[in-house]
Structure 1
């Protein structure tokens, strides 16, 4: 069953963010757009490339009213150690949530059974706390932050422009579609 259009489930976790440990709950997420960016584990291979890529667009996302929460089943202590020792991870200013009890991973149905690690998954949550986008990739395939940015822009446009939809490869400022009987069979 898809998680799209389902509500964010309650959670509480400790995160590492900008040199501090901070508590985060589902209540902190509501009221703004949010990205939950799950990855298998700290001190690995593909994960730091993705997290660094996301760190590079984080200021742009913040400017769009989007907060980022990276999540793995490691502890917030492990996140700090990784942040302090990896040049790529050292660029991160967004929340790095520890999910050692697997509650967040289970909420998003992203935990690999019997392994204790999250799959590589991206979830975009709207300000009302509804999951609007789900993307899951296999462990060996990294994600592209620029494509995530494009999808968030499309989501925000679609939500704020009822009656319009964003076609494939839509970029900000490009033409949208207004679904109607007149368009059926003409695209």
Structure 2
């Protein structure tokens, strides 16, 4: 079942952010755009490259009213230890959510059955808490933060411009489409 168009489910968890432990819940997410960036585990191989890549665009995302929540089934204590010891993870300023009870991973249907680890998945949630974008990759395939940024810009554009859609490879400022009977068979 697709999660597109569904509302995020309730959760409360501990997170590590900028040297502090903080509580985060689903109610904290609403009111702005959000990225839930699931990864299998701390102290691994592909994960730090992705998280560092995402850290590089975090200031841009904040300027677009987007908050980032990285999520693994590790604890917030593990996130702090990883942040303190890894040069790549040390660059992160966004929330690192602990999900050791698997509530968030199950809510997003991203938990690997029988393994206790989340798959590599990205979910973009609008300010009302509705999931607008889902991307899931296999264990060895890292994600690209610049492409995620492009997709968020497109999602924000269509949310603020009803009746328009963004074609393939759309970049901010380019033409969009207004679906109508007149376009059928002409694209």
Residue 139 of structure 1 deviates from its aligned partner by 0.6
Measured in 2, the distance between the counterparts of 1:185 and 1:102 equals 46
Equivalent residue for 1:10? 10
Equivalent residue for 2:69? 69
1:34 aligns with 2:47: no
Measured in 1, the distance between the counterparts of 2:111 and 2:163 equals 36
> What does the per-residue CA deviation read over 1:137-163, in whole Å, with 9 as the maximum and x for residues that have no partner?
001000000000000000000000011
TM-score (norm 2): 1.00
Measured in 2, the distance between the counterparts of 1:139 and 1:9 equals 25
Residue 50 of structure 1 deviates from its aligned partner by 0.1
Measured in 1, the distance between the counterparts of 2:147 and 2:20 equals 30
Task: Calculate the aligned-residue CA RMSD, in Å.
Answer: 0.3
User: Unaligned regions of 5+ residues in structure 1, if any?
Assistant: none
> What does the per-residue CA deviation read over 1:35-65, in whole Å, with 9 as the maximum and x for residues that have no partner?
0000000000000000000000000000000
User: What are the residue-to-residue correspondences of 1:131-170 with 2, within 5 Å?
Assistant: 131-170=131-170
Report the 3-state secondary structure (helix = DSSP H, G, I; strand = E; otherwise coil) of the residue aligned with 2:13.
strand
Measured in 2, the distance between the counterparts of 1:132 and 1:154 equals 11
Measured in 1, the distance between the counterparts of 2:99 and 2:178 equals 42
The number of equivalent residue pairs is 187
Residue 90 of structure 1 deviates from its aligned partner by 0.1
After the TM superposition, which segments of 4 or more aligned residues of structure 1 sit over 2 Å from their partners?
A: none
Measured in 2, the distance between the counterparts of 1:186 and 1:162 equals 21
Report the 3-state secondary structure (helix = DSSP H, G, I; strand = E; otherwise coil) of the residue aligned with 1:23.
strand
